[in-house]
Chain A
């Protein structure tokens, strides 16, 4: 990983995903094709999955990619593009997968959340009173718990086995970014009002409030050892506001900031060697920048 490396696709990028280990990334393009790169920028795979195009994608563990479009989901091999299974779904507004790829959660436009096994078997549907407009999902390691953020600024923690809401965290604005720590005990939330907070995933208690962005938070990731949190803001008004990425060292409370310019969305991750980085997507390019520690 070099500082400020730019990867170029052949068409505008519709969606982008980092693998759980941070070792590779995939983008689905508006021309219907998908590109996969290693973190070093080497193009690992490029293929067109066929019609219809897939406007969103997501890593399902390290070796598989979920690609979806109106009414369907496909599971693809990240190296070859081979499609192992497809199934029909209602239109999704968001999705998240367990880091080990054992479970997929999809958010419906009516506020329902579907839990599927990677072969498309529907395990359970999650519903809660007042839950309508879902902004973000996260699946805890081990797939025992699902975090569901919504525009009503309530962050609901569901028990995946019972389908019940275990806890409701009272945020001030909607979470746009969520991530569980590797041990599943901490849930990091980045919200529309720029706040970055850490919560005890069992009790729902606030553990820490990190620095506050002047813009909404669009991406968040807890490091594999749980000692650092990387996050990045998104500009709600790209003509006037510049976004930034931050890295917070929880062991010795200190936060560094990296400007990333005008950005409508982005992703943050930790490379296998431990370095934190931000991926900024603009049109046909992905720019990878190390976050200073």
Chain B
């Protein structure tokens, strides 16, 4: 009878047998170490969603997207960016754009647009205001385009479970917007802060496929 293998032993055995491929830039020892810490958990790739007609290149690098004193419910979105192995993608570039509180895109300038770089732990975050309903679209949404070396760019959109378009039941009503192909992109909204100055907070994890 064989002694039970530790997880590190199992990983090393799998690697030796060619059953486990470790993509650069990770070393096997690093993968094993993170696996033992429980830090690495395979993840499903974030569903893709349309880029849409109002993507604009060369947005300013910033984490506050709304003009000062812009009307609307303050919004804070944060999360981490991973690959499918669960490795945080430090340095991933995140481009974000959305409509104003009134549902209007700023196509002449860069209001409600910005790009930022994920931190060493894959964390990103930005503040803006809750987007309004854009004419022709059913649901409020925020566009994301995420790129990282060695990975396929992720183009997707974030939706809000509180959106009246979903009638309080996103599970049942998410397809009311024909562009919302996946329920997974609709995230819960936490209202935090002072009662006099509330802020909507949303967590949105982003998982990229390898190129």
Contact = CB atoms under 8 A, between A and B. Distances in A.
Contacts of B51: 132-133, 151-152
B58 interface: yes
B13 to A, nearest CB: 38
Contact of A236 (B57, B58, B105, B153): B105
B54 A173 contact: yes
A274 interface: no
A65 B172 CA distance: 43
B182 to A, nearest CB: 17
B135 A238 contact: yes
B52 A151 contact: yes
A176 B54 CA distance: 11
Nearest to B50: A133
Interface in A213-229: 214-216
Max count, chain B CB within 10 A of own CB: residue among A132, A236, A238, A239: A236
B56 interface: yes
Contact of A193 (B50, B56, B104, B153): B56
Contact of B53 (A135, A171, A214): A135
B103 interface: yes
B55 A193 contact: no
Given A172-B57, A172-B58, A216-B107, A237 B135 contact: yes
A153 interface: yes
Contacts of B108: 193-194, 214
Contact of A194 (B50, B52, B58, B107): B107
For chain A, what secondary structure do more than half of its interface residues adopt (helix, strand, loop), or is it mixed?
loop
A177 B107 CA distance: 16
Contacts of B107: 173, 192-194, 215-216, 236
A25 interface: no
Interface string A76-91: 0000000000000000
A174 interface: yes
A172 B52 contact: no
Contact of A192 (B54, B153, B155): B54
B141 to A, nearest CB: 15
Contact of A172 (B53, B56, B103): B56
A222 to B, nearest CB: 23
A193 B56 CA distance: 8
Contacts of A240: 104
B134 to A, nearest CB: 8
A80 to B, nearest CB: 37
Nearest to B105: A236
B56 A153 contact: yes
A153 B95 CA distance: 14
Contacts of B135: 236-239
A219 to B, nearest CB: 15
Contacts of B54: 173-174, 192
A190 to B, nearest CB: 12
Interface string B65-94: 000000000000000000000000000000
Nearest to A135: B53
A215 B105 CA distance: 11
Nearest to B106: A193
B57 A237 contact: no
A91 B87 CA distance: 39
29 contacts: A130-B153, A132-B51, A132-B155, A133-B51, A133-B53, A135-B53, A151-B50, A151-B51, A151-B52, A151-B53, A152-B51, A152-B55, A170-B57, A171-B57, A172-B58, A173-B54, A173-B55, A173-B107, A174-B54, A174-B55, A192-B53, A192-B56, A192-B107, A193-B107, A194-B107, A194-B108, A214-B108, A236-B104, A237-B135
The 6 closest A-B pairs by CB, nearest first: A151-B51, A193-B107, A173-B56, A153-B57, A172-B57, A192-B107
Interface of A: 130, 132-133, 135, 151-153, 170-174, 176, 192-194, 214-216, 236-240
Given A132-B155, A192-B107, 15 more contacts: A133-B50, A133-B51, A151-B55, A152-B51, A153-B57, A171-B57, A172-B56, A173-B54, A174-B55, A176-B53, A192-B53, A193-B56, A214-B108, A215-B107, A240-B104
